Chain A
Amino acid sequence: MSDLQQRPQQEERRAFLKVGAVAAGSALAPGVLLFGAAQARAPEEPASDKVRWGMIIDVNKCADGCNDCVTACNAENGLTGATGRQDSQWIRKLNIRHLETGVQTSLPMLCQHCEHPPCVDVCPTGASMKRADGIVLVDRHTCIGCRYCMMACPYKARSFVHEPLTDQNPEVPRGKGCVESCTFCVQKLDRGENTTACVEACNAAGHKAMVFGDLNDPNSEIAQVLKTQKTTEVRADLRLNTAVRYQGI
């Protein structure tokens, strides 16, 4: 479980980019605000790096054909639920079939809230950012809609808003021309609810396939599961140290 908290940045290219960035930064734009978007949280309750929000999904408990997490997400975040090629989907049910054994599994796929998120690395403006508590967000006001983050995300977790939006949830600002993705229901977390709409829906349906919580709190249910059971990262080879883990794959 300790690997979920901090892992030394092994990849050389990151180190290289940092050196390059610092050099370029000091040479070319002294005084430019580097990460202007990093304070999305309400000032009275700053996100703390003592917390790292995470999720474990037990695919054996996830029911085939059940779509409750998706529906709940759409309702909470004001998405229409349409699934055309240009429609936003923050969470989707992914059906996978093992090519040799033919075993079928169904699981929810969403932003994995990577510790080393490629979307944040590539974003030219810093609109894609990782909060201190590990949640990866897009700042609605600095995103220029270049879609480079969508190219970079290994999980296809992001959507681009192709049309003007109406009937928005005031708590969840979205907008035409910006990129968006799962926020771990940051509005609920910031209210102290410590859960997400999808997890609530899954529990309400009696499946209890998802556990949400603070990975850094040794007493939390999620930390206990991580300690005692085998979980996997999707595309672990990319070493992104995702906050969403799967059981039973």
Chain B
Amino acid sequence: MSSQSYCFEAQACKPALFWTLLGAGGLVLLGTLYAFFTLEHHGHVLTGMDNQIVWGLPHVFAVFLIVAASGVLNVASIGSVFGKKMYKARAPLSGLLAIAMLAGGLAVLVLDLGRPERLIVAMTHYNFKSIFALNMIFYTGFFAIVALYLLTLMDRRLTPWSKPLGMLAFLWRLALTTATGSIFGFLVARAGYNSALYAPMFIIYSFAYGLAVFIIVQTVMYKWNEVEIDERILARLKNLLAVFVAAALYFTAVLHLTNLYYAKQWEFERFILLEGGIYPLLFWGGQVLLGGVLPLILIFSPASRHPASVFLAALLVVIGGHFQMYVTIIGGQAFPLDLFPGYAESSSFYDGVVHPYTPTIWELLLGLGGIAITFLITTVAVRVLNFMPKDDLKELEVELKPH
């Protein structure tokens, strides 16, 4: 198996398909750029976002990518920090995906800014109190560390550095996801976000989303190269995914229960879980059922020995993750701020009413741009460099022995 010849070695391998994929990704990105320049010219008036729903669909995609980016590095971490060979073989791909997704997510955030041309201002004027600015530092560091880590994995002379760098990347990533979760946890005034649980919950989510993305990309790469994945490796990955998905469900339940019992946020909970129109639907149907329960069923069903059903489970986790972000980000804003608890409020500024949100094509295009960037970086990188997981099955024999 180790001497398998892969596509990146034989450059002529399926060039038509490669260029088609590249073209498709490029086309989406073109659409994104078109949306960007249109909004830059006309302003956000064209979008569905307003002074009540200030963060919209682009943020749903962006935050998903950023959170998944930190989570996908888990695969490398298990390899380098905990010394598992099977994961080590997957470390380069995991590092690549982390960088690609972070780039995609951050790009969307930047493209959605009211004054994107002032990015340089954002980079030179730091308010260190701002968790948002702190995030920027974490992201930049994340790029650097993961890039170095990738180098140590690819260049044999640097191999001794791979363990400490892997460790650093692992710790850095935890900090990064904590910081991303805190972006919401710090919004003390908003009923939906005022919980210290946001940071740990985002870490769990990141594990699930990251691994799901990893499984999707890996499955496609194996298929592309016409390589069969070892059944035991697949079983390991899918079991890990199941653990993460179950943990994410558990944390979601804890968040809502603590909101109900401790934080006295009945009104908000009733909104998001029962009466809030689209949001309970997206929560129960999208986040819980599609993104949690169904993947678990797929993973544990007898048919799940097949890569296709694991692939489908991972795909559902990713889709459910987007629903989760939608419910968290948009649902949290749709619920009105309560300025005077104990009073009914109304005003010309839409106080006291649930805020509707209908995203437009522009927001969708911005959001899809993040996926397109991730996709393009990944596709090109796996084409020109060696990111295909290569398992030395003899060596793995010990590790994979059923316990």
Cβ-based interface call for B13 (8 A): no
Chain B residues contacting A14 (CB-CB under 8 Å) are 129
Complex contact A28–B137 (CB within 8 A):
yes
Known: A118-B188, A124-B126, A176-B114. A160 touches B44 (CB 8 A): yes
Inter-subunit contact B114/A177 (CB<8 Å): yes
Do A94 and B125 touch (CB < 8 A)? no
* Interface pick from A145-153, A184-192, A204-212: A145-153
Contact (Cβ within 8 A) B344 A99: yes
Q: Are A125 and B54 in contact (CB under 8 A)?
A: no
Check A34–B132 contact: CB distance below 8 A.
no
In the complex formed, the residue of B with least CB distance to A14 is B129
Are A86 and B45 in touch, CB under 8 angstroms? yes
> Are B347 and A93 closer than 8 Å at their CB atoms?
yes
Name the residue of chain A whose CB is nearest to the CB of B53.
A85
CA distance A161 to B114 in the complex (A): 8
By secondary structure, the B interface counts as loop
Q: State the CA gap A13–B345 with chains docked (Å).
A: 31
In the complex, which range does the number of interface residues on chain A fall in? 35 or more
Contact indicator A178/B339 (Cβ below 8 Å): no
For B, the interface residue count at a CB cutoff of 8 angstroms equals 53
Whether B339 lies near A89 (C-beta < 8 A) is: no
Asked, given contacts A88-B51, A142-B118, A151-B55, whether A97 binds B130 with beta carbons under 8 Å apart, the answer is no
Overall SS of chain A's interface: loop
Task: Give the nearest-CB partner of A159 in chain B.
Answer: B51
B33-81 with Cβ < 8 A to chain A:
42-45, 50-52, 54-55
Knowing A21-B128, A126-B126, say if A143 contacts B134 (CB, 8 Å).
no
Q: How far is the CA of A97 from the CA of B347 in the complex (A)?
A: 12
Chain A neighbourhood of B128, CB < 8 A: 17, 20-22, 24-25, 34
Q: What is the bound-complex CA distance between A176 and B355, given in angstroms?
A: 23
Please provide the 6 A-B residue pairs with the shortest distance between their CB atoms, ordered closest to farther: A145-B114, A21-B128, A177-B114, A154-B189, A85-B50, A126-B127
| 14 A-B pairs in the complex with CB atoms less than 8 angstroms apart | A17-B131, A18-B129, A20-B134, A28-B137, A29-B126, A34-B127, A84-B50, A86-B51, A97-B343, A100-B342, A142-B125, A162-B43, A163-B43, A177-B115
Instruction: Please name 10 further chain A to chain B contacts, defined as beta carbons within 8 Å, in addition to the given A160-B44, A238-B188, sorted by A numbering.
Output: A13-B186, A34-B127, A83-B348, A92-B349, A97-B343, A109-B351, A123-B130, A125-B122, A152-B187, A235-B189
Q: Which positions in B face A, CB cutoff 8 Å?
A: 42-45, 50-52, 54-55, 109, 113-116, 118-119, 121-122, 124-134, 136-137, 141, 183, 186-190, 333, 337, 339-340, 342-351, 355
